[in-house]
Amino acid sequence: MKQRLVLPLILVALMAACNKDKFKTEPQVKVKSISPNRVFKGDVLTIKGDYTDDEGDLDSLLLVYKWYNGNTVVKPSTGDTLRYTFETLNLPSKTREADLIIQFEFGTTQIDNLAKLPGVTRDTTATFGLVLKDKAGHRSNYSESDKIRLKN
């Protein structure tokens, strides 16, 4: 009799624990991929990721970019962050979980509707990270892409 009660209780506890990990008050974000891995001036970069947010009240996405000189991070002179409002991500309001596709142009201003990433003066390595912010001011974890090569 005890064994019949224990197994269902364990299953219920596991399901509740899994659900708590998936949705939190602070948004959670994960970078899945970045392409292409070699980028030339005028190319469009695409970052794919996903997120969860318990309240579904996202306000904005911050794209943090880092240039490298060897293993040392060197901040670009023009800043290091692009901000996207939630509306520009084309997701319905109150979305608690979704895939993200963020696109931006590297080094030129040829495409009007894309965010612009500054060019580089010499070939360098770069990474791109995502941070989400909700309307209550909560910030997500930081998730960073693999390194890619930026070509002058």
pLDDT tens-digit profile, the chain (152 residues): 444 444 444 544 444 445 445 677 899 999 999 999 999 999 999 999 999 999 999 999 999 999 998 888 887 766 789 888 888 877 788 889 999 999 999 988 878 888 888 888 889 999 999 999 999 999 999 999 999 999 98
**What is the pTM for the complete model shown?**
0.80
Ordered by start, the domain boundaries in the chain are: 23-150
Structure tokens at 34: 């970045």
What residue type is assigned to position 81 of the chain?
Answer: T
Q: Is CATH 2.60.40.2550 the classification given to domain 23-150?
A: yes
d(CA 48, CA 36): 12
Beta strands in 3-119 (DSSP E): 28-35, 38-39, 44-52, 58-69, 72-74, 81-85, 97-106, 115-117
Alpha helices in the chain (DSSP H): 2-22
d(CA 100, CA 71): 28
